[in-house]
Amino acid sequence: MSVAASPAVQPEPSTAPRRVTILGATGSIGTSTLSVIADRPEAFAVEAVTAFGNAERLARVAKEARARVAVIADRSAYDALASALAGSGIEAAAG
């Protein structure tokens, strides 16, 4: 008795962009990662960006990447982040 192998079914490649979060978005690796993402906007959607304490730079990065949320680790920098993102539609968070 022989059993015929069925051809492997390959899933259709998704056309939806991959949703990503960039940890340490203001550092060198985060900046490089965001550069790659900017070159392939059809492939990636930035959900969130994070940084330790540079609120102004994080706000700029969040706007450029069209992130949904920006999170700053240093709670004392939250007000500066929220102010820098006011009116952008990007949510600010801290912690």
Are 85 and 74 spatial neighbours (Cβ–Cβ below 8 Å)?
A: no
Q: Would you state the structure tokens that stand for residue 78, as one six-digit string?
A: 């939250």
Q: For the segment 50-68, what is each residue's pLDDT rounded down to a tens digit?
A: 999 999 999 999 999 999 9
| Distance (Å) of CA 16 to CA 33, 42, 87 | 19, 8, 27
Is residue 84 helix, strand or coil? Answer: helix
> Among positive and negative, which fits the CA dihedral 51, 57, 62, 64?
negative
The domains of the chain, with CATH numbers, are: 18-94 (3.40.50.720)
Are 53 and 60 spatial neighbours (Cβ–Cβ below 8 Å)?
A: no
pLDDT the model gives residue 15: 85
Confidence of residue 8 (pLDDT cuts 50, 70, 90): low
Separation between Cα atoms, residue 12 and residue 49, nearest integer Å: 29
% pLDDT > 70, the chain: 86
Q: For the segment 18-34, what is each residue's pLDDT rounded down to a tens digit?
A: 999 999 999 999 999 99
